[in-house]
């Protein structure tokens, strides 16, 4: 591939999402969407993430439907290990009664893990396949077909997850402490004096807002960097052969760890939202 296009073009091609938008002439794709602004859709991110989400739900739902209290099958046993792992983490950090947090944590953990796992698919396979399909199926130039297969390297997705968690933080803060209690938490800490209200508010707002952004950027940054290094290794010609494997092995750790961190921090943030001072 590198023989036909320059390295920087190759990297850029790999880091560009397939975009869809509606223009005056109807639905348009990719470069035609450069001016679309906010109302553009990353179809590859959406398709892969939703597909993986459905895969997760389908796999776990199939176990849930056949769940037996007797001797579990192998798949049920595995699912139960995951459930138990998530449940233990939730119970360790969260001491309230809430039916949402555990399933939320499970969804985040498995879904993010599956999306991260796409990083281990060799970087060229799926984009190449998409290029061929675009070329032979729709008569497009393969270089104009974009396909970013790791949804967590798209800031839209990680930010969406983090904002979802953020809305839940706000919701539970207000639900548990009331509007007054939540306002008080934002304005009367850490300095409990009326004169410090603006200072407190600035500090607490930063603390509050830092949570979703750190969540989103941590996941995005880790996976984006990992993906970038895979792409860079792929540009090395023959040298990529010994390098891909160690990086992939190391990346297995990153994949699981980032999914776990996202889940864990979600639990911690939500348990903080439940705590009344």
Partner 1 sequence: MNINATLIGQLIAFAVFVWFCMKYVWPPLLAAIEERQKKIADGLEASDRAEKDLELAQQKATEKLKEAKAQAAEIIEQAKKRANQLVDEETQRGHAEREKIITQGYAEIEAERNRAKEELRKQVAALAVAGAQQILQREIDAQAQNDIVEKLVAEL
Structure tokens at 53: 């989400």
Please tell me whether residue 156 binds partner 1 under the rule CB under 8 A: yes
Identify residues 172-231 at the interface with partner 1 (CB under 8 A): none
How many helices and strands (H and E) does the chain possess? 9, 3
Write down the catalytic residue from 22, 62, 205, 214.
214
**Choices 68-76, 117-125, 135-143, 231-239 (CB under 8 A): range interacting with partner 1:** 68-76
Cα-based distances in Å from 90 to 13, 93, 205, 234, 236: 40, 5, 26, 40, 44
Asked if 243 and 233 touch (Cβ cutoff 8 Å), the reply is: yes
Least distance to partner 1, CB of residue 67, Å = 4
What is the C-alpha separation between 128 and 146, in angstroms, rounded?
A: 9
| Residue 22 annotated as catalytic | no
Is residue 214 among the annotated active site residues? yes
Classified as helix, coil or strand, 140 is: coil
**154 part of the interface to partner 1, by CB under 8 A:** yes
Q: Cβ closer to partner 1: 3 or 69?
A: 69
Rg (CA), the chain: 22
**Binding flag, residue 61, partner 1 (CB under 8 A):** yes
Instruction: State residue 100 phi and psi, 5-degree precision.
Output: -90, -35
Pick from 3, 24, 25, 39 the residue near partner 1 by CB under 8 A: 39
Edge-to-edge strand list for the sheet holding 40-42: 26-29, 19-23, 40-42
Do residues 250 and 146 lie in contact, with contact meaning Cβ atoms separated by under 8 Å?
A: no
Site for partner 1 in 110-139 (CB under 8 A): 111
Query: Is 63 an interacting residue with respect to partner 1 (CB under 8 A)?
Result: yes
Catalytic annotation present for 61 = no
Tokens at residue 2, please?
Answer: 């590198």
Considering only 30, 83, 230, 265, the residue that binds partner 1 (CB under 8 A) is 83
Window contacting partner 1 (CB under 8 A); options: 82-90, 139-147, 185-193, 242-250: 82-90
3 binds partner 1 (CB under 8 A): no
What's the start-to-end Cα distance of the chain, in Å?
59
Q: Taking the complex as a whole, how short is the minimal distance between the CB of residue 275 and partner 1, in angstroms?
A: 22
CA distance 36 to 148: 19
Closest CA to 215 of 174, 168, 253: 168
Which of 120, 128, 142, 164 is close enough to bind partner 1 by CB under 8 A?
164
- Catalytic hit among 17, 49, 116, 222: 222
**Residues marked as catalytic:** 214, 218, 222
- Enumerate binding residues for partner 1 (CB under 8 A): 15, 17, 19, 36-42, 45-46, 49-50, 53, 56-57, 60-61, 63-65, 67-70, 72, 76, 79-80, 83-84, 87, 99-100, 102-104, 106-107, 111, 154-157, 159-161, 163-164
């Amino acid at each position: 591939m590198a023989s036909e296009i320059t390295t920087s073009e190759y990297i850029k091609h790999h880091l560009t999402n397939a975009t869809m938008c509606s223009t005056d002439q109807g639905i348009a794709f990719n470069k035609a969407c450069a001016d679309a602004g906010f109302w553009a859709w990353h179809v590859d991110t959406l398709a892969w993430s939703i597909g993986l989400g459905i895969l997760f739900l389908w796999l776990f739902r199939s176990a849930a439907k056949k769940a037996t209290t007797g001797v579990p099958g192998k798949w049920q046993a595995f699912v139960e290990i995951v459930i138990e792992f998530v449940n233990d983490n939730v119970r360790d950090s969260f001491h309230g009664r809430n039916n949402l947090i555990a399933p939320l944590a499970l969804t985040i953990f498995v879904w993010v893990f599956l999306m991260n796992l796409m990083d281990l698919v060799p970087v060229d396979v799926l984009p190449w396949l998409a290029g061929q399909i675009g070329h032979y199926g729709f008569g497009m130039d393969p270089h104009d077909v974009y396909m970013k297969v790791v949804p967590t390297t798209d800031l839209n997705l990680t930010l969406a997850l983090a904002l979802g968690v953020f809305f839940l933080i706000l919701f539970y803060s207000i639900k548990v402490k009331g509007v007054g209690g939540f306002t008080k938490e934002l304005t009367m800490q850490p300095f409990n004096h009326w004169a410090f209200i603006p200072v407190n508010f600035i500090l607490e707002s930063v603390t509050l807002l830092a949570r979703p952004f750190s969540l989103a950027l941590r996941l995005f940054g880790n996976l984006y960097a990992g993906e970038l290094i895979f792409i860079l290794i792929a540009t090395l010609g023959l040298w990529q052969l010994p390098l891909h494997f160690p990086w992939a092995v190391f990346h297995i750790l990153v994949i699981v760890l980032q999914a776990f961190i996202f889940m864990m921090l979600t639990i911690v943030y939500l348990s903080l939202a439940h705590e009344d001072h």
